[in-house]
Amino acid sequence: MRYSPTVWNDEIYNKGGFVQIFETQIFPPGRRKLVDKLRGQLGLPVLVSERIPDGIMKRLDEVLEKRVFRK
């Protein structure tokens, strides 16, 4: 999610879930024109990628291990 209310995040976390906050919204390669427009005209933090960046995947793996698989 991006910019989700803290009260929602707390509720999800307290019920055993997890929340991943994204600063940058990721779009698939076919949306390049849209992303260029969103970034250029609106200044939004967006990018085009075929895969989720390694840093995000690492954080997600850590949360899953700790909260879901409890290893």
Distance (Å, whole) CA 17 – CA 25: 21
Q: How large a percentage of the chain has pLDDT more than 70?
A: 99
Tens-digit pLDDT profile for residues 36-70: 999 999 999 999 999 888 988 898 898 888 877 77
Q: Quick one: pLDDT at residue 28?
A: 94
Whether residue 19 has pLDDT greater than 90: no
pLDDT, mean of residues 17-41: 91
Of 57, 67, 65, 62, nearest to 22 (Cα)?
Answer: 57
Domain layout of the chain by residue ranges: 22-68
Chain centroid to CA 7: 18
Exposure of 5 by Cβ count < 10 A (0-12 exposed, 13-18 middle, 19+ buried)?
Answer: exposed
Q: Which runs of consecutive H residues, i.e. helices, occur in the chain?
A: 6-14, 32-42, 54-63
Whether residue 71 has pLDDT greater than 60: no
